[in-house]
Structure formats: structure tokens, C-alpha cells
Copies of this chain bind each other. A is one copy, B any other.
Amino acid sequence: MSARAQDPAHDLVGFSINQMTVKQLSMPDLVKGCLELGVPGVGLWREPVQQHGLHATARLVREAGLAVTSLCRGGFFTGATAAERARALDDNRAAIDEAAVLGTDTLVLVSGGLPAGSRDLPGAREQVAEALAELWPYAAQRGVRLAVEPLHPMYAADRCVVSTLAQALDLAEPFPAEWVGAVVDTYHLWWDDQIAAQIARAGAAGRIHCFQYADWITPLPAGVLTGRGQLGDGSVDFRWFRDRVRATGFAGPVEVEIFNDEMWSRDGHEMLAQTVARYREHAL
């Protein structure tokens, strides 16, 4: 029998690698790399899970003893027509089912941007609220929490109309905290002068359902999607975030999720090892 992760590196308890950070690794290589380094958890994405097979992935991580700390991602609720929005809900029900099969308790939701041709931000945000109202009972029945992710305001038009932690919490508030919460991702939120108060609010309400690290580096690349920084390379004070999140009583894992073209162009096992080293250097 292969190595298992029931004895992870002691200082990596609560650490998780989001697979997008090392997306060049196949699912088996990702699991192997985690076991070698003593990484106890992974955050998964739907597309590579589909590629390896949903049940095969579930078996692979379960047999390795890895925790699946989240599944990315549901969402993209906004749409110009009722039919578009209904299709999005169907797709989110499928994502919830997949999360349950994978044994993770958390589905990350990226809300979607403005519908094509629309300038109605409040209207788009209302569509997100309606989708959450529709989905949370389905998720709760399957033991899956919905984690609304505020993305950096530079994505408000084309990707996510939820731009601050305060907004994500406002959206989550009508629903049970056990089932609807927010993602705290340093990359998206580090600039916000209200972030300390909003982390405290999120923690007090029991709504921090996912906690993610990436650094902020400049210059941003064209399209601004794939220029997130390795921990320590940028402007984020990770220990500051860690302390504030922990001060709320949060005892969950932290995922490192970095989208970075240069890191993706290099050896995946090296990048995984580098990420663990940077986590130890900048966030422990």
C-alpha cells in the first residue's frame, strides 16, 4: 500500500494546496506530491476532476488520506435571460453533487459578472441573491456549504459582481451560517481598509467557509487572471490575515491558490515544494 497522509508534516496541519497552483500536475502526481511533502489537504477544481473521473478522484484522495478542503467552483449565476440563469442553477446542483462525492464540505462560488450588454450591477447582485436562495437547501441536504467568493473589484464586470467581503456577507446573511458563508482570499481582499472588521464579522457569524492565500504582485498581466504571486513575492502580509482569521476562532484549513503563468511553466513538483517552503517562510 502506498504512503498515506494520516501523518502529515506536523507544521503543515491545516495547510492545503489548491490544485490550480500546480495545475501542470496530473491528479495522481498531485496526490503523490502531497504525500511526499506531508501536505494533508487539497482544494480541487471541477475540470481536472472530470478529466481524471469524479469517482476515480474521490477514491484516489480518500485512499491517500487527503482532505478535500474545497471544490472550485460553482457560481456564474448572472445571466441576461431566465433560461440562462436556470441552466446555471442546474450546473450548480451538479457541482454540489460532485462536492458531496469528493467528500468536501465546501463549494466555492464565483458569482459571475454583468450579463452581456448590462450596466445594472445592483440587478446582477440581486440575481446572485436569488440563486443562493434557490440552491442552499439542495446543498444542505448533501452536507455541502456554499462559500461566496468576493473577487477583486477588477473582475466586477466580467467575472464576479461580488467585490468585497462585506458584500459576500450581506448576500449570505439571509441564509443559515452553517450552509452559506464566504471565502476570505488574500489576493482579492488585501487592499480593503475594512477587511479587519469584515473578517471579524464573518468569523463571529461562523461564515468563513474557505480561507485562501495568494500574493499580490505587479505589473498585472493582460487579462489580469494569471498574475497572482507566490507567497512572499508581493504586498500581502499573510500573518496579519492569519492572525485576524484565527482570532475569530476559525480552525479550518488555509488553501494556497495561485494562478501564475510562470509557475505553471515550471516543474509541478518543484512548484509544490516551493509553495510549501514559502508557506513556512511567510505564513507560519
Q: Name the B residues within 8 Å of A235 (CB-CB).
A: 114, 119, 121, 156-157
Rounded to whole angstroms, the CA-CA distance of A122 and B191 in the bound complex is: 10
Question: B218 and A220: CB pair below 8 A?
Answer: no
The minimal Cβ–Cβ distance linking A49 to chain B, given in whole angstroms, is 27
Question: B220 and A223: CB pair below 8 A?
Answer: yes
Rounded to whole angstroms, the CA-CA distance of A13 and B32 in the bound complex is: 68
The minimal Cβ–Cβ distance linking A226 to chain B, given in whole angstroms, is 11
Rounded to whole angstroms, the CA-CA distance of A36 and B61 in the bound complex is: 70
Given contact pairs A154-B153, A154-B154, A235-B114, A191 touches B121 in the complex (Cβ within 8 A): yes
Q: Name the B residues within 8 Å of A121 (CB-CB).
A: 190-191, 193, 235
Number of interface residues of A (CB under 8 A): 34
Rounded to whole angstroms, the CA-CA distance of A240 and B166 in the bound complex is: 23
The minimal Cβ–Cβ distance linking A157 to chain B, given in whole angstroms, is 4
Query: Which residue of B is nearest A217, CB measured?
Result: B157
A1 at the interface (CB under 8 A from B): no
Q: Name the B residues within 8 Å of A153 (CB-CB).
A: 152-154, 191-192
Q: Name the B residues within 8 Å of A164 (CB-CB).
A: 193
Contact mask for chain A residues 166-202; partner B; CB cutoff 8 A; 1 contact, 0 none:
1100000000000000000000001111000000000
Q: Name the B residues within 8 Å of A223 (CB-CB).
A: 219-220
Q: Name the B residues within 8 Å of A193 (CB-CB).
A: 121-122, 125, 163-164, 166-167
Contact mask for chain A residues 198-231; partner B; CB cutoff 8 A; 1 contact, 0 none:
0000000000000000001111111110000000
Rounded to whole angstroms, the CA-CA distance of A240 and B216 in the bound complex is: 32
Q: Name the B residues within 8 Å of A216 (CB-CB).
A: 156-157
Given contact pairs A163-B193, A191-B163, A218 touches B158 in the complex (Cβ within 8 A): yes
A27 at the interface (CB under 8 A from B): no
Q: Name the B residues within 8 Å of A53 (CB-CB).
A: none
A91 at the interface (CB under 8 A from B): no
Contact mask for chain A residues 108-143; partner B; CB cutoff 8 A; 1 contact, 0 none:
000000100001111001000000000000000000
Q: Name the B residues within 8 Å of A237 (CB-CB).
A: 119-120
The minimal Cβ–Cβ distance linking A39 to chain B, given in whole angstroms, is 25
A245 at the interface (CB under 8 A from B): no
Query: Which residue of B is nearest A235, CB measured?
Result: B157
Question: B163 and A218: CB pair below 8 A?
Answer: no
Rounded to whole angstroms, the CA-CA distance of A221 and B122 in the bound complex is: 26
Query: Which residue of B is nearest A153, CB measured?
Result: B191
Rounded to whole angstroms, the CA-CA distance of A223 and B156 in the bound complex is: 18
Rounded to whole angstroms, the CA-CA distance of A171 and B217 in the bound complex is: 26
Question: A157 and B218: CB pair below 8 A?
Answer: yes
Interface residues of A (CB under 8 A from B): 114, 119-122, 125, 152-154, 156-158, 163-164, 166-167, 190-193, 216-224, 234-237, 240
